Amino acid sequence: MSERTQLGQARPRHWLASAVCCFLLCLAVWSVTPGRAQPQAGKQPFQNSVAQRNDMLRELREIKALLKEQNAILRKQAANN
């Protein structure tokens, strides 16, 4: 019977120590986690889809022109060989 009493007394201390450790761990994680920044009122984080599409089309046209120039140079080099 004395063993049960000793085990019974050890459990609350063990439980309390575990609860304190968990609380301290949560507190440490919470203090390290950065807060959520609020977006600026007048500025969107990304361009709207129409502006993104226009930029993409402009860049694709530039790439197309560069490829045409590169192909012309390669054809000229192939003709000379």
Q: How do residues 9-59 score in pLDDT, each as one tens digit?
A: 555 567 788 888 888 888 888 887 776 656 566 677 777 889 999 999 999
- Per the rule left: phi > 0, alpha: psi between -120 and 50, beta: everything else, 40 is beta
Q: pLDDT band at residue 8, thresholds of 50, 70 and 90? A: low
Mean pLDDT value across residues 1-12: 53
Mean pLDDT value across residues 49-72: 96
At residue 43, φ and ψ (nearest 5 deg) are: -115, 130
Q: Is the pLDDT of residue 1 over 50?
A: no
Query: What single string gives the DSSP state of each residue in 2-37?
Result: HHHHHHHHHHHHHHHHHHHHHHHHHHHHHHHSPPPP
Q: By C-alpha distance, which of 49, 69, 45 is closest to 57?
A: 49
